[in-house]
Chain A
């Protein structure tokens, strides 16, 4: 397997050439793409991997004796090893390919149905993506377990004192996002894991927003489960990962029945396949898995240290520039945050700002960012969220800030 080497010089102009979409225009203006926290753009290297798969070796995997099937199986399993290496999992069968973060979370929640007893507790944080709260509510309804919530502070950090109070021998699982999608807060996950393990609870981290910026080391974190989506880290949509410690993945029952996940089937009894296939029923997104591997190669070739330091520079620059606008309030001001700025101006509706700046070629997200509990906390309908990636530039931030000023003038 080719080992990706890190580029010695971080040159954003060279990097931008890898992303064909960045040269398109929107509403007659050059695209400024600041909606990276929703989905990242795709470099040519990943597009090539997708084209190459369908051009040369598209075949179903694992059972075929023919060459194409063998090549596809090898590429898919190599991708699994790439994901394993990237997140430093101990073994490749601890990596389960899923359709994305949501699927991975549901897989774990469903598995815990048979492990949880009435009266036991699950802890989630107030910073969660609300669609990620639903699987736990459903799990609690099924099992009679209770859902507890770690409250947040004004600056968008988690109230760790309250977290400690919530933990007890009843706690069986703690679910927290590594980075908040609405605010960009990087949560103190080491401490969260440590304390949870202290009472014997497992920890599932939602790494969807962290993975594009931080290379998580699952063994060092000692986390029990870690989930990500490929499309937020330069990969394709529809594929993601569940990392689980082997002992946990063995404990959880299969999630879906179907091909791939079985060893033997009779009408009397089915024995399940070994990991990781136990959790990968049916034909997976073969091409997606391979392209996910290509995306990790690409990001590692740029280097996560380079990415983090450059994005931090963009964050500081944009924060400073935006704060020059009178009446602008930034939500989520933790010292530890990724390159995400969630803001409002006076009482202008975020939707209005988003609509006007779209006319100027700028893509941001507006609304509650699927984090209604966070919006309720601040008593706002939503925010404008600009999220930067390593292929963005300070010049784009200048264009963005000017556009926001123009929108403000029009709307107030």
Chain B
């Protein structure tokens, strides 16, 4: 895994460690949701909609040089927080590093319950979508 992604993940883990209980963690996640780099309205298409979420999540990916930039939005604020955390770690990175990155930090920040594939929030679908973009753009770079 790229040091860069790992570093950001560790930073997020450190940040969440400051909180004593789930409520503060969720409050922080909601705050992060508010700072999400928003997707342009024109990209809020059916195609960019991630399936498997109870709330709507749109993700758009664009290559800038050799780095992949993600923008996103959701109609639910907690979902927005989750996608903001993912984008913070994975956006502005090389596609190859995104493909190789693991997701253990989600567990470490106390969001393990969201990792279950049957969760209605679709965190697993979101990660899969980010990685699929990375795979697609990686082939373009090759």
Contacts and interface: CB of A to CB of B under 8 A. Distances in A.
Interface of A: 27, 348-349, 351-352, 355-356, 359, 366-367, 381-382, 410-411
28 contacts: A349-B55, A349-B75, A349-B76, A349-B77, A351-B54, A351-B76, A351-B78, A351-B79, A351-B121, A352-B55, A352-B76, A352-B78, A352-B79, A355-B26, A355-B121, A356-B26, A356-B78, A359-B22, A359-B23, A359-B26, A366-B54, A381-B55, A381-B56, A381-B75, A410-B23, A410-B26, A410-B27, A411-B77
A411 B75 CA distance: 12
Contacts of B75: 349, 381
B52 to A, nearest CB: 13
Interface in B13-43: 22-23, 26-27, 30
A351 B23 contact: no
A351 B55 CA distance: 7
Contacts of A382: 54
Contacts of A351: 54-55, 76, 78-79, 120-121
Nearest to A356: B26
B18 to A, nearest CB: 18
A382 B53 CA distance: 13
Contacts, number: 40
Contacts of B22: 27, 359
3 nearest A-B pairs in the assembled complex, by CB-CB distance: A349-B76, A351-B76, A351-B55
For chain B, give the interface size range.
10 to 19
Contacts of B30: 410-411
A351 B22 CA distance: 17
Contacts of B78: 351-352, 355-356
Contacts of A355: 26, 78, 121
Contacts of B54: 351, 366-367, 382
B137 to A, nearest CB: 30
A126 B27 CA distance: 38
A27 B26 CA distance: 14
Given A349-B76, A359-B22, 14 more contacts: A349-B55, A349-B75, A349-B79, A351-B76, A351-B79, A352-B55, A352-B78, A356-B26, A359-B23, A359-B26, A367-B120, A410-B23, A410-B26, A410-B27
Contacts of B26: 355-356, 359, 410
Nearest to B75: A349
A154 to B, nearest CB: 23
A233 B30 CA distance: 38
Q: Which of A355, A366, A382, A410 lies at the interface centre, i.e. has the most chain B CB atoms within 10 A of its CB?
A: A355
A164 to B, nearest CB: 38
A367 B76 CA distance: 12
A364 to B, nearest CB: 13
A231 B30 CA distance: 37
Contacts of B120: 351, 367
A27 B110 CA distance: 13
Nearest to A359: B22
Interface string B54-88: 11100000000000000000011111000000000
A183 B4 CA distance: 50
B121 to A, nearest CB: 7
A352 B55 CA distance: 9
A362 to B, nearest CB: 14
A377 to B, nearest CB: 18
